[in-house]
A = this chain, B = another copy of it.
Amino acid sequence: MTTDSWVNETLYPAWGQRFRVWHELARVQSAFQDIMIFESETHGRVMLLDGVVQITEGDEFVYQEMITHPPLLAHGAAERVLIIGAGDGGVLKRVLQHRNVTRAVMVEIDGEVIRLAKQFLPGIGGTAWTDPRAEVIVGDGIDYVQRAPDAAFDVLIVDSTDPIGVGEALFTDDFYANAARILAPGGLIVNQCGVPFMQADELGDTSLRRAKFFPHVGAYVAAVPTYVGGFMTLGFAAKVPGLDAVPVATIRARAEAAGMLGTTRYWTPEVHWSAFQLPPYIARHLPPRG
């Protein structure tokens, strides 16, 4: 609460980032995790879950754009989108920018994250919370995918924490089996896979798991300023081949049809294609190309 205090991220025990804090806005122990929101000097408001940076107002656009636009545009005709996690509402907002999306279901396990995001980070979700195409459920994403009907969604976005703590069950065989079942033909799932320079096992392990249930598995990258350690990876798994190599011109045409071309600060059709070009130090953690 002082004006010269620092918050150290605790994701890695011996390296990490720190922020000077203007003032703390919220500190809540929910049923699931420790939630902290503070006003930083450099990045606007920052939300941490269990000591790990989830989002800052300054750079949220990078992560939100890159976990949303590549899967929707690689698919090309996504109408029904399921989002698991993403309680701040930023992914929901980006999904709804695609005018061809008819239904976006968001399942966030921790209602406190939603409540605090609406109160302290209202710009991140914006008007998405009240969009008639959106259905926001406070509940267990694992449970939701178990109960959802077959082929109910075109794209599934898993915006979870790392596979420790509350996010762990989103990286299991059972989860991916259900994900494959509830995705329609042509569908794909995307989930955040950490920063491979620091967490290579996360990408490697979850890629192998996805490969059990999907014939086409890969990853793409984004340079998120506050997910420190170089590129973060977004793992994808698809029912059809080629979604990682859609030509730039096709992506551009789809983005124009979706009505979201020109709305972005990180994503472009060229950045989209480029994100799938993995440096060898990352590519070696993926299973042989399917």
**Contacts A14-B40, A14-B42 known; A264 to B280 CB distance under 8 Å?**
yes
Complex alpha-carbon distance, A59 and B8, angstroms: 22
- A44 → chain B closest CB, angstroms: 12
- A3 → chain B closest CB, angstroms: 11
A236 interface contact, C-beta 8 A: no
Q: Using Cβ atoms and an 8 Å threshold, which residues of chain B touch A271?
A: 277-279
Q: Using Cβ atoms and an 8 Å threshold, which residues of chain B touch A266?
A: 279-281
A133 interface contact, C-beta 8 A: no
Q: Using Cβ atoms and an 8 Å threshold, which residues of chain B touch A32?
A: none
A228 interface contact, C-beta 8 A: yes
Complex alpha-carbon distance, A274 and B222, angstroms: 12
A23 interface contact, C-beta 8 A: no
Complex alpha-carbon distance, A59 and B224, angstroms: 17
A161 interface contact, C-beta 8 A: no
> Across the two chains, which residue of chain B brings its CB closest to A275?
B274
> Across the two chains, which residue of chain B brings its CB closest to A248?
B277
Binding site for B on A (CB under 8 A): 8, 12-20, 40-43, 58-59, 61-62, 195, 197-198, 221, 223-225, 228-231, 264-268, 270-271, 273-275, 277-281
For the complex of A and B, 3 pairs with smallest distance between CB atoms: A274-B274, A225-B230, A14-B41
Taking A268-B277, A271-B279, A274-B277 as known contacts, 12 extra A-B pairs with beta carbons closer than 8 A to each other, sorted by chain A number, are: A13-B20, A14-B41, A15-B17, A15-B19, A15-B42, A15-B43, A18-B18, A62-B279, A225-B230, A266-B281, A268-B280, A273-B274
